[in-house]
Chain A
Amino acid sequence: MVAAALHEAIAYPAVGAALDIEHVNHAFDIDGVVLPVLEDVSLAIEPGEFVALLGPSGCGKSTLLRLVAGLEKPRSGVLREDDIRITGPHPSRVVVFQDPTLFPWRSVWDNVALGLEAQGILKSQRQRVDAAIDLVGLSAFRKAYPHQLSGGMAQRVALARALVNDPKVLILDEPLGKLDSLTRITMQAEIVSLWQRKGFTTLLVTHDAEEALFLANRVIVLSDRPARVKADIRVDRPYPRHRGDPYLADLRRQILGLLGLDATW
């Protein structure tokens, strides 16, 4: 009892981890043809940074996320989390995918509990599930099944399912890509506030320059496939940011120029 209470009191120091990506190359075999997707990508991400990876569709940014998550191993190069080599998935690095991919046979509560259950610590940590559901504002939907939720609610559940693990790195793979624009704007603000409160390192893949600039304090622009780091832009603006900020508009023009879309501006 005392140990459990003490455990709770410490409250899981949710400090972000540093990520080091060093000379990573990756390729896919498609019917015997080798298709390079990442070419000598190196990045050093500070603990607690919010980094957006921006690039044209299909350039390999999601692949880079999968490598960071440990879902795949790079062909060459090294990835490290807090100086420990990443060899496989770990609940300290959690991914929120473009589709919520909730398990349809589990209620909202059971979906959020998934990580703790998989790690075998659910029995003693049930209150963390409730807390995570409260955090995304879905307390009234604990018992609902995924098919009863709207797209935005489902993505919120996916976010809670990630956050319940108190990750050191939150990996967001275009999590707002399929939502309607209003829900998207709301959730962008929510993600910023969660990140500020929890202090985890965030890696966001997006193809929306405005979203990247609104959320991140560092935007990495990737080239067309095979992806190389084209630019590393610091977004030195306080939060909450304003979409009409001329400084951000200027950066946006710059970024679209890097992506070869300057003709439209």
Chain B
Amino acid sequence: MSTYSVSDASAAAGQAAADVSPGWLEKLRSGGYGVGLAAAVPWLAFGASCLYWEDLGDWSRTHGLAIAAFGIAALALLGTIGADFLGSAGVALRRRAPWLVALGSFLTVWEVATAKFGWLPLPFFPPPQAILEVYTDDMPKLFDSVIASVKLQLGGYIIGAAIGFLTGVSIGWSQKVGYWVHPILRFIGPLPATAWLPFAFFTFPSSWSASTFLIALATGFPVTVLTWSGVASVPNAYYDVARTLGAKPSFLVLKVAIPAALPHVFVGLFMGLGASFAVLVVAEMIGVKAGLGWYLQWAQGWAAYANMYAALIVMSLLCSGAITLLFKTRDRLLVWQKGVVKW
């Protein structure tokens, strides 16, 4: 009873019968289930189109896809009616119901336009069941590619971020370091990391170490510059306060300069993450014989476009996940900040 909206309450007050009818029936009358029920419709349509309409081509996962679609439709239905009993999961489901409608509709249109009418040319635009087939049949190779990409990305990113952070703090703190490092940074930093590709691939012993270097480079530049600007923009008053309270130089760096610079550092880490994704994919396409970039290249070479889309979806989930993780970390560390960008 506690989750009733005002309109539900007024609808209930208007009808004496509402008092005796069960909650779900009452809600059905007042239209409270509208979006949730609407969410089930496109998914049912999607499933039905898979099941009862002959495919133009020969795809083996059409029936499996239909079952999955019906499953989602059932979940939407159950979730809508049972939302009051599902607690926070029910609330979350209800909030996302409009997206379920949109996604179901999109998949139905995609299914019909590719597998049923062939409006979009094959093999460039495969139907959803072809992509599902990649996930079920080519999982081991895709999984290995994900592992390879994550390892490469993580190694390069952590090295680049650590070096960038230390360099940034040093330049921001010490004029002498700044004198020597700043010109180098200005000269080399703006160069896209991918421009180093030829150099990296013949200088480093393996394509893996070369790629790590390039990813670290792409990450390091924005992290360095923003950490530096963060440290340089710490108000002198903070140092004055700390010094009069008995702080030594190490305290000024670790407990004043670095925490004060952290919001800037996170902007650098975010920019570095974006730059490093680009380098990762290029490096994998050109030199490294593993990873999602390599998988994309390989899929294209065999005209296996379904594999390409499947890899793209995985890649976007990974990149988005990495950024979510970064923002979550930032929100934890910077709870003291107001009005930070939400992701």
Contact = CB atoms under 8 A, between A and B. Distances in A.
B243 A89 contact: yes
A44 B336 CA distance: 44
B245 interface: yes
A99 B262 CA distance: 22
Contacts of B335: 145
Contact of B245 (A105, A115, A146): A115
A97 B237 contact: yes
Interface string A214-237: 000000000000000000000000
A220 B13 CA distance: 77
Nearest to A98: B237
Looking at chain A's contact residues, the main secondary structure is: loop
A147 B339 CA distance: 11
B238 A94 contact: no
Contacts of A105: 259-260, 262, 334, 336
Given A101-B235, A105-B259, A106-B336, A118 B248 contact: yes
A118 to B, nearest CB: 4
Interface string B118-147: 000000000000000000000000000000
Given A97-B240, A101-B238, A105-B260, A114 B245 contact: yes
Contact of B246 (A97, A104, A118): A118
Interface in A154-213: 161, 165
B251 interface: yes
B338 interface: yes
Interface string B219-256: 00000000000000001011011111111100100011
A90 B246 contact: yes
A90 B243 CA distance: 8
B337 interface: yes
Contacts of A91: 244-246
B237 A101 contact: yes
B256 A119 contact: no
Interface in B255-284: 255-256, 259-260, 262
Contacts of A26: none
A168 to B, nearest CB: 13
A69 interface: yes
Nearest to B240: A71
B246 A89 contact: yes
A104 B242 contact: no
Given A71-B240, A97-B241, A103-B238, A117 B255 contact: yes
Given A101-B235, A103-B238, A103-B260, A69 B255 contact: no
Interface string A79-110: 00000000011110111010101011111000
Contact of B336 (A99, A145, A165): A145
Given A97-B237, A99-B237, A101-B237, A147 B245 contact: no
Given A105-B336, A106-B336, A147-B338, A115 B260 contact: no
Interface string A59-91: 000000000011100000000000000001111
A69 B260 CA distance: 24
B263 to A, nearest CB: 9
Nearest to A146: B336
Given A97-B237, A101-B235, A105-B262, A71 B336 contact: no
B245 A165 contact: yes
A70 B337 CA distance: 32
B237 A114 contact: no
A93 B240 CA distance: 12
A71 B243 contact: yes
Greatest chain A CB density within 10 A among B241, B246, B337 is at B241
B262 to A, nearest CB: 7
Contacts of A118: 242, 245-248, 251, 255
B245 A161 contact: yes
A104 B244 contact: no
Given A103-B260, A105-B259, A119 B238 contact: no
Interface in B316-339: 334-338
A161 B246 CA distance: 12
B302 to A, nearest CB: 53
Nearest to A121: B246
B244 A114 contact: no
B337 to A, nearest CB: 7
Contacts of A71: 240, 243-244
B232 to A, nearest CB: 17
B245 A104 contact: no
Given A107-B336, A114-B247, A161-B245, 9 more contacts: A71-B243, A88-B243, A91-B245, A105-B262, A106-B336, A145-B335, A146-B336, A165-B245, A165-B246
Interface of B: 235, 237-238, 240-248, 251, 255-256, 259-260, 262, 334-338
29 contacts: A69-B244, A70-B244, A71-B240, A71-B243, A89-B246, A91-B245, A93-B244, A94-B244, A95-B240, A95-B244, A97-B240, A99-B237, A101-B240, A103-B256, A103-B259, A104-B336, A114-B245, A114-B247, A115-B246, A118-B248, A118-B251, A118-B255, A119-B245, A145-B336, A147-B336, A147-B338, A161-B241, A161-B245, A165-B246
Interface of A: 69-71, 88-91, 93-95, 97, 99, 101, 103-107, 114-115, 117-119, 145-147, 161, 165
